[in-house]
Each structure stands twice: as C-alpha cells, then as structure tokens.
A and B are shown apart, each in its own frame.
Chain A
C-alpha cells in the first residue's frame, strides 16, 4: 500500500510553486525550468533551484572532482560542494564517468544547501507544463512529474531535494577533516548570461526576467519602427537588445522563421520584450563585483539591466 504519496512528508518535500496540489490531478501549471539531457533521457529542474551552470574549462570535469570520505566534491570559487549524477544515484556509477560527452555541472540549491549535478548536456531554459506522474508512480523518490516537450518527447521533472539527500554536508564534517573551510560568501545575485548577438555576451539580473518567450521575426507585427508580439497576455512590444544597448548595432536575426528567445520584463505593470540570440547560462556572481562586467569562467561579460532600459523604450512604444 502506498505510504509515500499524500503523506505530510511527501508534501513537505516540495519547495517550489504549486505544481501538484496533491489530490488535484487536473491542475497543470507551467513552470520555468532548465531542461537537460543525460544518457539520452531528458530531464527538467525548476529554475527556482538553479544557481548556475558550470562548464568545464581546460581541465575535464572528472579530473576536477575530488574524493573525500566516500563523497565526491567540486571546488567552486573556493567552496567545496558535494556533487552527484543521475547515473550515480540510479546505478552507483562514478560521477562524471561518461567519456563520450563534455559534461556540465548544475549548481542547485535546496534548503539543505547547495550541490552539483553532473549532466551530459544543457538543452534550454523554457516554460513547460509539468504534470504529476501517473497515479501508479506517485511517491517515486527522484521524480515528481513529467512534461511533454514541443517535440513530443517526455521530460522527467526531478525532485531536487531528494537528489540532494545523502550528499556530504559541507558544514557537517568537511571542515573538521582538513578540507578548506568555505569562503565567506559575499552577497550574490543570479545573472542570466545571454548572447545578445553573435560575439556579445551580457549578464542580466535573473530577477528582471519574468519569463522567456520565443518568437520568430516573421511572427511579429510591425508598426513603424516598432515590433509587436501577441501572446496569451496581450500585445508585447519587442526590442532587439543588441540595438537598444548599442545604437550603432544593427544586428537582427537572419532567419525570419527561426524563433529567438525574448526576455520578458515587467515595468510598472507593463510588459516589454528583449530579443536576444540565445540564453546561455544562469550564474551567481557577487552583487557589486567587477564594475560594469561579470566574471564567469575567466571571461568578463558586460552587465546589463533591463529595468534601466525599460522606461525609455516603453515611452517609444507608447
């Protein structure tokens, strides 16, 4: 008989918004998620848990993972974080052992702390309707739901809190066993790394992005110099971020049929869309560090604020 689904323990595990009213199977809510692939299977984690995506630089990820008292650890800006992988959790395989890929490391946060999840490839930041698992499967430890992606394939929504269970607790014993104590953290802010056009990366505060839509140029209506998108919430003025941040930059998407991400920002109740070439990563950086830039993986990217741009552009749109 079931003892997992519907129990107070199961309800407590869920730390993000109301995907699953436990007894209401009709409730389907779209969620901002990061989708990724591991061993050919697609998964999603709620953006609310995601701090950043680490790409291995010159040194392969598996060489950067250290082992201490049976735990796998990754040194991130001086802090030792426990790391795991789905293959490790499911089959006991070594973390980052897949030689056929250049893995990425998702840094995820739960109430118990931060940890890293090694995955084969990042797919997208997207909005997906996550459904509860079919009744017979509710209560599984690592999955809380599933989503049908636009290509018809199913992605498994992972229970991030459960993934973290059993991992080394940084503050529990690592410092006591000679591992370096973690660096006192400066106030940090989540930044979305976007390619605003080929060759230009910018960091934008995650808090300024209400959600990410996707539109092809051909789907936009033109009113004079203005481009407008229509969606379920009404009309959205769309500006090309490359142009509004550098007036001489006339970059526009080459292929009018290819959908590009549009970062939707809400300013005093009004929506404004910023078209970019691609969304690359979410990272956490010091709130006030590096002047006008953001240091990620040794490179400095320009720091931009959608909120600062919004009043002028909304006046133009009006």
Chain B
C-alpha cells in the first residue's frame, strides 16, 4: 500500500489522536519518568532513552485533564524536535492511519480550548475520528517560555 500520507495514531482520555509519522522517531513502552521541580504543567518529567535525557509531555495534562497516573501502563511516542527529542505520553498506541490526501476538517465547534490550541484538524476514518496534532503548537503550548530554535 503506497499511500502518500500517514499518521501515527494513539489514544488518550477516550479520544484518538494522530501525528504525522515523519515526526515520530519510535515508540517506547514503560519507561520511568523523573519529575522536574517547577517544570511546566504539561511536563511529566524526563525519561532515559538509551542514555539520552528526553523531556516527556503528558498528553492528558496538555488537554487540561488530570495527569496520567504514573502507576498505569502508558506509552511514549518519541518525537523529533529539531535536533532534540520530545516524548509524548499517551494511554495506548493505535494503528498507522494512511491516506492519499492530507485534507483536514476543522474541529467541531463544540470542542474548545485547549484542544483548539494543539489540534490542527480532524480526519474521519470509518466511524472513528482522528484528531491530528500540530507538533509546533503542542510544543509552544507545553513550553511557552522557551526558545523554539
């Protein structure tokens, strides 16, 4: 199957999200996360990825929900952030959504912040809705104080 576009999809807080596979380096399960004192609210902490220290964002916290329970199984989606990496903590990983087009529909009007701040648009697959994340917006939202370079 040679679809031109693909999104890695995953679940968090009963919704299905996706992000372009080009942003995704790898998926990691069950990595310990060390909290950072006085870090931004969406920062779960730091994880050790084969000796590399990677900041970990909690998608639930990004959505304004109570943070992921550290004792429950969760999955790290490792994303490329320039020459660095950022991990996105999600409830569970789903399939790769493929399509020949990358057309996104706007978010339903009933959806408010913070979804509107970090979701680029929506794709429909069968009966399911895929909320496509905007990585730059996610990083701006999570790290409002930092230099994006």
Contacts and interface: CB of A to CB of B under 8 A. Distances in A.
Interface of A: 1-5, 41-42, 86, 89-90, 131, 133-143, 146, 148, 152-156, 158
Nearest to B70: A40
Top 4 A-B residue pairs of the complex, sorted by shortest distance between their CB atoms: A154-B34, A2-B147, A142-B37, A136-B143
B81 interface: yes
Interface in B95-149: 139, 142-143, 145-147, 149
A136 B84 contact: yes
B71 to A, nearest CB: 11
Contacts of A141: 38
B47 A136 contact: no
Contact of B145 (A139, A148, A154, A156): A139
Contacts of B84: 134-136
Interface of B: 32, 34-39, 43, 45-48, 51, 53-55, 81, 84, 86, 139, 142-143, 145-147, 149
11 contacts: A5-B146, A134-B55, A134-B84, A135-B146, A136-B142, A136-B146, A137-B39, A142-B38, A148-B51, A154-B46, A156-B46
Contacts of A42: 34
B37 A90 contact: yes
Contacts of A146: 34, 36, 46, 53
Given A2-B146, A153-B48, A89 B37 contact: yes
A154 B37 contact: no
A154 B38 contact: no
A146 B32 CA distance: 14
A148 B48 contact: yes
Contacts of A140: 36-39
A155 B36 CA distance: 9
A140 B45 CA distance: 13
B41 to A, nearest CB: 12
B38 A90 contact: yes
A85 B139 CA distance: 30
B147 A137 contact: no
A101 B7 CA distance: 47
Given A2-B145, A148-B48, A154-B47, A136 B38 contact: no
Contact of B36 (A1, A3, A153, A156): A156
A180 B46 CA distance: 44
B140 to A, nearest CB: 10
Nearest to B81: A136
